[in-house]
Amino acid sequence: MTDPKTEFSPRLFESESEIEHLGEGLLACTLERPEWTHEAHLAATTWLLLKHPELDLDAELPGLIRRFNESVGGVNDDTQGYHDTITKAFLAGVRLFLSEADRDRPVHELVNELLLSPMGKRDWPLRFYSPQRLMSVEARRGFVAPDLNPLP
């Protein structure tokens, strides 16, 4: 049985320039707030992993997202904005996807395939976390270990 809150048809990308726009926009804080969707999070993360291997995303992605959120008037607190555990769960999912993917394809095709895969679904972290643990203030503020299954 699927949960209608987590079932969605992702917006797919038509060009590499769309992905580059999201990745560069995250780095430069030039995206418009409505552009920063679930799909954009995964596209930017994929682009950063592929195009900026010098970045330590485990250490740097939290600050990049927090800074972007603040640049568009968002707040990073106990109830909104940056969520460390969700970010790190999806980072693990993108890495898993890329480890199994044919990387010789255009980035937008890889991102589209990711978005249609289990790792791209909004409920990916719930394979590893109970909703109570995942949505806790502790999980938002810092990484907490999964309580259902280990992350890949």
Rounded CA gap, 59 and 86, in Å?
15
Separation of alpha carbons 20 and 44, rounded Å:
8
DSSP string over 107-152? HHHHHHHHHHSGGGSTTGGGGTS-HHHHTSHHHHHS----SSS---
Indicate the pTM of the whole model.
0.92
Where along the chain do its domains lie?
Answer: 16-141
What confidence tens digit (pLDDT) does each residue in 77-134 have?
999 999 999 999 999 999 999 999 999 999 999 999 999 999 999 999 999 999 999 9
